[in-house]
Amino acid sequence: MDYLKPSEVVNALVEAGARKAKLPVLDLLVRGALSGAILGIATSLAITATIQTGAPIVGALIFPVGFVMIVLLGLELVTGSFALLPMAQLERKVSFAETMRNWSWVFIGNLAGSLLYAAMLWGAFTMFGEVSGGPLAERIAAIADARTLAYEAHGAAGWAAAFTKAMLCNWMVCMGIVMAAVAQSTVSKIVAAWIPICMFFGMGYEHAVVNMFVIPAGILFGAKTTAASWWIWNQVPVTLGNFAGGFLMTGLALWLTYRTRAPKATEPTASRVAAAS
């Protein structure tokens, strides 16, 4: 049967979180690096499609290809782990220390893969600094400034806006993981996961791992922003917002309503008491 009921999905996600918590550090780093690079490739493809067609919705329709690859290969994405590991922790299958260990190493892996692809893209499109990067480089640089300096210009309100966009983003990203778990065949997993990922990208919400690529790449391509602005006005609030959205709006919400509950004990009837006597 190509469908799991919500309660079965929650149980499957709890088990997935427990498995992720036990992975060796090398696996977390390698799988995390692959995820960061793959999302970077998908992002640059989506931006290219938007430039070529003049329609941002085309980029949104294309971007989920990277997320689908990550899900089907069982790679590590810290934003997805923001929902899965707390669910396993709520079931007492994972400790807080194991959760933090997973998040830390996967975050480092995601960052390393994203930075590597950003450097490779810059080298490929500028002949390693010999020529301009063309329309793609200009668009990535503009996006980097929009995701840092635009927030900085509004101070605390800008920081809060980045945090809120990140909550909305990871609500949909984690729903993509949930939808992929609902379906069982490869094709249905792809279709189910595609929908919420397309929604977050099309709305321009903030994803921590996407930004690990697009902002450093923008800096390499000549953006006005700096590494300090990247972390203060984007990476920190977006990572925190991704955690809040993934955990509160997906992991905790689904666990509260669909977790498997033990049957309630019933009071013995008078006849049973008499028979027992």
Please check whether residue 1 lies inside any domain of the structure: no
Tell me the residue ranges of DSSP E strands in the chain: none
Whole-number pLDDT of residue 3: 85
When pLDDT is averaged across residues 39-62 and rounded to a whole number, the result is 97
Q: Are 2 and 188 in contact (CB under 8 A)?
A: yes
Q: How many domains does the chain have?
A: 1
CB-based contacts of 36, cutoff 8 Å, min separation 6 = 109, 110, 111, 112, 113, 114, 115, 116, 117, 209, 212, 213
Q: Which domain holds residue 223?
A: 6-257
Please check whether residue 270 lies inside any domain of the structure: no
Question: DSSP 3-state assignment of 66?
Answer: helix
Please check whether residue 93 lies inside any domain of the structure: yes
**Alpha-carbon distance 67 to 180, whole Å?**
11
Whole-number pLDDT of residue 32: 98
In this model, does residue 1 exceed pLDDT 70?
no
CB-based contacts of 35, cutoff 8 Å, min separation 6 = 70, 75, 76, 77, 109, 110, 113, 209
Whole-number pLDDT of residue 267: 46
Instruction: Kindly report, residue by residue over 70-120, the tens digit of the pLDDT.
Output: 999 999 999 999 999 999 999 999 999 999 999 999 999 999 999 999 999
Whole-number pLDDT of residue 135: 96
Please check whether residue 264 lies inside any domain of the structure: no
Please check whether residue 277 lies inside any domain of the structure: no
Instruction: Kindly report, residue by residue over 136-194, the tens digit of the pLDDT.
Output: 999 999 999 999 999 999 999 999 999 999 999 999 999 999 999 999 899 999 999 99
Indicate the pLDDT class of residue 245, thresholds 50, 70 and 90. Answer: very high
Whole-number pLDDT of residue 271: 41
Of all residues in the chain, the percent with pLDDT exceeding 90 is: 91
Whole-number pLDDT of residue 29: 98
Whole-number pLDDT of residue 150: 97
Whole-number pLDDT of residue 264: 53
When pLDDT is averaged across residues 234-245 and rounded to a whole number, the result is 98
**Alpha-carbon distance 56 to 259, whole Å?**
38
Please check whether residue 71 lies inside any domain of the structure: yes
Q: What is the mean pLDDT of the chain?
A: 93
Q: What is the CATH number of the domain that holds 159?
A: 1.20.1080.10
Whole-number pLDDT of residue 274: 43
Please check whether residue 138 lies inside any domain of the structure: yes
When pLDDT is averaged across residues 56-63 and rounded to a whole number, the result is 96
Instruction: Kindly report, residue by residue over 226-235, the tens digit of the pLDDT.
Output: 999 999 999 9
Please check whether residue 129 lies inside any domain of the structure: yes
